[in-house]
Amino acid sequence: MSTSVGGYSVSASGLTLRYGPVTALAGVSLGLRRGVTGLLGPNGAGKTTLLRTLATGLVPDSGDLTVLGHDPRTASGRLAIRRRVGYLPQNSGLHPNFTVFEFVDYVAILKEFDDRRRRHAEVRRVLATVGLDDQRGKKIKSLSGGTRQRVAVAMALVGDPDLLILDEPTVGLDPEQRLRFRELIAELGEGRAVLVSTHQIEDVLMLCQHVLVLERGQVRFEGRPAELAAVAAGRVWTSTSRTAGALASWRTATGRYRHIGDPPADAELAEPSVEDGYLLLVEQMSNGRAER
Amino acid sequence: MTGNSVPSRDRVAEKLVARRGRSMLALGRLEARLAVRHPVTIVAVLSFVGLCAYALLIGGANSYPVLQDEDRWIQYPVMVLLGGAALVVGNLAVLRGHRHGTTAAQGVLVLPVPWRVGAHLLAVLLFGGLATVLVLIWAVVMSTAPGAAGRMNPYELMSGPMVVVLLGALGVLLGQLFRSPFVAPLTLLGLAVATGAYSSPDAPGNPWLGWFLPVAAQRDPMPLPTHLLARPAAWHLGYLAGVLVLVIVAALFRAGGRRVGAAAVVGLLLAVGGGVGQVTAPGDEVVADRILASRDPARQQTCVAVDQVRYCVFPDFVAWVDGWDAVLRAVLLRVPPAEARRPMAVRQRVWAHGYLHGGSVVTPRQQQLRAATWRAGDLAAGTPNTVTVGTRWGEGEYELGLAALVAYEVLAREGAGVFGTLCGARAVLVGWLAGQASPGAATALREMQARNVEGAHLGEPSFGSGVTLPAQELALVVSLLDRPVEVVAAAVLRSWAELSRIDTVTGRAGEILGVPVPSAPADAGCLA
């Protein structure tokens, strides 16, 4: 069951967090609902900081934040949130000498599953969810990269969390593993809020009902993937030659050039994609900064 | 706020603590399972068992263990091997998250860090349990040896497992203070070196400093009867318990635990109390007993008569009489019956007071004075013809020493404390009688000849007294030991009068016994 404020699993307003002189989050405001939300942004945009803050790993300097109806700045709020949040950090390590079962069991203990029978039942449930029930006795060091990533997701799923925070979960996976992962995440998003940080625009397109674009510690876009694509409506063109005037320009598999921004002379208007919208947004923001 | 709300909040808090307690126990069990199968643990346990087995099976000394020494001896390997494993494995367990990059994920899980550290500390108890079991097995095996002397001190036995738990807790603390896995092994190395240095009777510095190390130094030059030990083992155990509590408190505090004030006070009281108690000098009564035991042990001993021989021993060592008697009878078997029937005594002596640190170097003058003191005491005790045994037994060196002193006493009837060089046929006779007394004695004699080109000293090794055989006579004795014992024995008995005369030269002894005599420099300073 999800506790939420106004239907939001996460609600943030003016969230600010600094690492010394560096402002990682500069007044982030957002609302997360049930379903899969993609978090996009260039490197250093503050995605990981935002996810760690939502997972109670960092305390914001200012702003309002409610996660599953609780304030993470209080001890009782953090405790309540931690009981109901699953967090998979970027490049999360695993203990290679543990078996799959031991590792998830270890995490379950840290989630205060104090009853052994109930805990083991939960571990079995989680392993079945990620399709690892037949590999529970294997040492983690013997697993492939994709299987290890499933173990990491299993770790985040212990306790059937209402909010799942996944930081670049598909990094390093081959296409088939990524496809399987999308299936899994989509399934997980059916009954809870899932926030997925990714550099893979395709993941957002395939998975997410909502998308957030973070840039320099601020939310620059919040909406549906189609709305992000619509940002580039009328600004995406194809032509037979490269143009210097476009924000971005590249040769496609058809041999024609695709441009975002102002069209060259022989250009034809093209249907914008989520990636186009994202690129246009990011390029505009960086150009705007350069002009300033 | 209603009247019911406060108890309700307390109840919630209690349930939370109970839940965390159960989670901590579950985590502690998991950590213990991981620790027990860690390669460092397996190697340490196998090494410890192998060392104990080696000590039991190889070397005769452990057929005659002095239990009040064994309970201390075992502490060092317990500390280095089992304690070392606890230190390293406990440390690695704490560092696991950093080493494997799981801190970000597991840092936001529910169980607070102090409870996780508590689980690591609980897992360390496994090593304590393991050490307790292994030490108890060792104690039972040692105590049930037929030649076991004395008794073990339970506080000494408990010190080993306590040190293991202490080092394990230290490993947990070090893991929180330093992110490097090298700090724990270096700490162990430092402790092992310091403790090893302080375990020697000749260690520099003040002896009481050693008591502040986990394993208290063993500084006696020889095993002592239990009533002379007066080791503050109980105080040391209290000191260790106090330090353990303080280490646990520091580990929990470092992890963010703040309700540790009472435990810190208890730990401090235990550590200070135990620390002061353990370095308090032995009481006057014990010192007086040690002086008496060193100068005139008869008043603390019990005597056991076997035929014409009286064995006067400290009560702890009565079990050794049969071993001494076997060697003594093997000597007397080869002397004329009239000599063998004369009364004799074997008295156990210790050097419990005034031991000369830096080696037991004693001048001839000191040897003479000591011999005079011993003989006066023996005369007063009604045992004028006495030979000396110490508090170590079971190896050929000690059998050879006792046999040589018995053989010399049969010839010279001088009493305890003999010191000097034997020459001529008497040296050959004493050397052969001693060497043939047991296989161990023969081996020891051969080894002495191989090691020393100038001869061999035969006597009680702990005191430096005894007789020295010059190289020529030693070589003759070793060649006699290669001949059939009955043939030599018959020749000895036939020519006893001539061989035992002080003026019979070595060459003549060779002729009588049928072996060629190697050349040698002229004898000087022989015993009259």
Identity of the residue in A94, A107, A114 whose CB atom sits nearest the CB atom of B22: A114
Q: Mark yes or no for CB contact B109/A110 under 8 Å.
A: yes
Does residue B94 have a pLDDT over 90?
A: yes
Query: What pLDDT is stored for residue B358 in this prediction?
Result: 44
Confidence of residue A283 (pLDDT cuts 50, 70, 90): confident
Longest Cα separation, chain A: 71
| Distance separating alpha carbons of residues A273 and A134, to the nearest angstrom | 40
Instruction: Quickly state the pLDDT bin for A224 (edges 50, 70, 90).
Output: very high
pLDDT of residue B355: 60
The complex's ipTM works out to 0.85
Residue A179's pLDDT band (cuts 50, 70, 90): confident
For residue A83, which residues of chain B lie inside 8 Å, CB to CB? 110
State which H helix or E strand residue B306 sits in: strand B302-306
CB contact under 8 A, B116 and A152: no
Query: Measuring CA to CA, how many Å separate A282 from each of A39, A65, A243, A258?
Result: 13, 26, 19, 17
Q: In this predicted structure, what is the pLDDT of residue B1?
A: 41
Position B58 scores a pLDDT of: 77
pLDDT over 90, % of chain A: 55
For B218-254, what is each residue's pLDDT tens digit? 667 789 999 998 889 999 999 999 999 999 999 999 9
Contact A82 B26 (CB under 8 A): no
Show the tokens assigned to B521: 């420099």
**Cβ separation of B22 and A115 shorter than 8 Å?**
yes
Of A85, A94, A115, the CB nearest to B102: A94
Nearest to A92 among B22, B101, B109 (CB): B101
Residues in Cβ contact with A252 at an 8 Å cutoff, skipping those fewer than 6 apart: A238, A258
Distance of CA B148 to the CA centre of its chain: 13
Q: pLDDT tens-digit profile of B359-414?
A: 455 677 888 888 888 999 999 999 989 999 999 998 899 999 999 999 999 998 88
- pLDDT for position B60: 55
Quick check: A107 and B106 CB within 8 A?
yes
Indicate whether B5 pLDDT > 70.
Answer: no
| B positions 102-161 inside 8 Å of A (CB) | 102, 104-111, 116
Task: Tell me what pLDDT residue A40 has.
Answer: 94
Nearest CA in chain A to B13: A76
Contacting residues of B for A106, CB less than 8 Å apart: 27, 30
Give per-residue burial for A117-126: e unless 16+ CB within 10 Å, then b.
Answer: eebeebbeeb
Chain A contact for B39 (CB, 8 A cutoff): no
Size of interface A-B (CB pairs under 8 A): 74
A55 interaction partners in chain B (CB closer than 8 Å): 108
Asked if A112's CB is within 8 angstroms of B108's CB, the reply is no
Q: How confident is the model at residue B284 (pLDDT cuts 50, 70, 90)?
A: confident
Name the minimum distance, in Å, from the CA of B112 to any CA of chain A: 8
* pLDDT tens column, A33-44: 899 999 999 998
Instruction: Assign B482 a pLDDT band (cuts: 50, 70, 90).
Output: very high
A113 neighbourhood in chain B, CB within 8 Å: 23
The predicted pLDDT at position B136 comes to 96
Task: Report whether B146 contacts B64 (CB < 8 A).
Answer: no
Which of A87, A105, A113 minimises the CB distance to B108? A87
**Residue B4 pLDDT exceeds 60:** no
Measured in angstroms, the CA of A107 and the nearest CA of chain B are apart by 7
Mean pLDDT for the stretch of residues B278-290: 86
Judged against a pLDDT cut of 80, whether residue B528 lies above it is answered with no
Tell me which of B98, B109, B113, B115 to substitute to probe the interface with A (most A C-beta atoms closer than 10 Å). B109
Give B307's Cβ-side CA count (13 Å radius).
Answer: 11
How confident is the model at residue B461, as a pLDDT? 81
Range B449-464 average pLDDT: 84
What's the pLDDT at B66? 93
Judged by a CB distance cut-off of 8 A, whether residue B23 touches chain A is: yes
* Residue in chain B lying closest to A59 (CA): B108
Full DSSP string of B202-253 = T-SS-GGGGGGSSSPP---SS---HHHH---HHHHHHHHHHHHHHHHHHHHH
Residue B252, Ramachandran bin (φ over 0: left; ψ between -120 and 50: alpha; else beta): alpha
- Cβ-based interface (< 8 Å): residues of A facing B: 52, 55-57, 79, 82-83, 85, 87-89, 91-98, 102, 105-107, 109-116, 119, 152, 155-156
Q: Which of B23, B38, B108, B115 to mutate to test the interface with A (most CBs of A within 10 A)?
A: B108
Q: Which three-class secondary structure state does DSSP give residue B148?
A: coil
Question: Would you state the pLDDT for residue A217?
Answer: 93
The candidate with the shortest Cα–Cα distance to B128, out of B100, B97, B169, is B169
Contact assignment for A112 to B102 by CB distance below 8 Å: no
Tokens of B411: 């010839």
pLDDT of B2 = 43
The alpha-helical segments, DSSP class H, found in B413-438 are 424-435
Which of A172-186, A203-217, B220-234, B310-324 is the most confident on average? B310-324
Of the candidates A199, A291, A281, the residue with the CA atom closest to the CA atom of residue A248: A281
As a whole number, the mean pLDDT across chain A is 89
Nearest CA distance, B8 vs chain A (angstrom): 16
pLDDT score of A273 more than 70: yes
* B181 burial via Cβ count (<10 Å: 0-12, 13-18, 19+): middle
State the nearest Cα–Cα gap between A152 and chain B, in angstroms. Answer: 9
Cβ of B111 within 8 Å of Cβ of A110? The answer is yes
| Chain B residues within an 8 Å CB radius of A58 | none
Contact A109 B23 (CB under 8 A): yes
Q: What percent of chain B has pLDDT over 70?
A: 92
B124/B170 Cα distance (integer angstroms): 10
* Beta carbons of A112 and B34 less than 8 Å apart: no
pLDDT, residue A225, reads 92
Nearest by CB: A89 against B19, B100, B105: B105
Question: Which residues fall within 8 angstroms of residue B31, CB to CB, at 6 or more apart?
Answer: B93, B119, B120, B122, B123
Q: Edge-to-edge strands of the sheet including B302-306?
A: B302-306, B309-313, B344-348, B386-389
What percent of chain A stands above pLDDT 70?
96
The residue type at B426: R
3-state per-residue secondary structure call for B482-504: CCCHHHHHHHHHHCHHHHCCCCC
The pLDDT of residue B203 is above 70: no
CA A219 to CA A281: how far, in whole Å? 11
Domains of chain A, first to last: 10-96+159-223 (3.40.50.300), 229-291 (no CATH)
Q: Is residue A1 pLDDT above 70, yes or no?
A: no
- B interface test, pick of A107, A114, A153 with most B CB neighbours within 10 Å: A114
Structure tokens at A108: 């379950």
DSSP letter, residue B461 = T
Tell me the torsion sign for CA atoms A268, A271, A274, A280. positive
Contact B30 A105 (CB under 8 A): yes
HEC states along chain A? CCCCECCECEEEEEEEEEECCEEEEEEEEEEECCEEEEEECCCCCCHHHHHHHHCCCCCCCEEEEEECCECCCCHHHHHHHHHHEEEECCCCCCCCCCEHHHHHHHHHHHCCCCCHHHHHHHHHHHHHHCCCHHHCCCEHHHCCHHHHHHHHHHHHHCCCCCEEEEECCCCCCCHHHHHHHHHHHHHHCCCCEEEEECCCHHHHHHHCCEEEEEECCEEEEEECHHHHHHCCCCCEEEECCCCCCCCEEEECCCCCEEEECCCCCCCEECCCCHHHHHHHHHHHHHHHHHHC
Look up the pTM and report it.
Answer: 0.87
- Write the secondary structure of B337-369 as one string of H (helix), E (strand) and C (coil): HHHHCCCEEEEECCCCCCCCCCCCCCCHHHHHH
Does B461 or B379 have the greater pLDDT score? Answer: B379
Instruction: Decide if A79 and B110 are in contact by the 8 Å CB cutoff.
Output: yes
Q: Confidence band (pLDDT; 50, 70, 90) for B7?
A: low
Does B262 touch chain A if contact means CB atoms closer than 8 Å?
A: no
Q: Do B19 and A114 touch (CB under 8 A)?
A: yes
Shortest Cα–Cα distance, A221 to chain B (Å): 27
- Cα B329 to Cα B309: distance, rounded to the nearest angstrom: 10
Coil/strand/helix, residue B313: strand
The whole-angstrom separation of Cα B142 and Cα B360 is: 29
CA–CA dist B470, A192 (Å, integer): 96
d(CA B154, CA B167) in angstroms, rounded, equals 20
Percentage above 90 pLDDT, chain B: 68
Residue with tokens 């909502």: A210
Closest Cα in chain B, distance from residue A232 (Å): 37
Interchain pair B100, A152: CB under 8 A: no
Our CA-based measurement puts residue A112 at a distance from the nearest CA of chain B, in whole angstroms, of 5
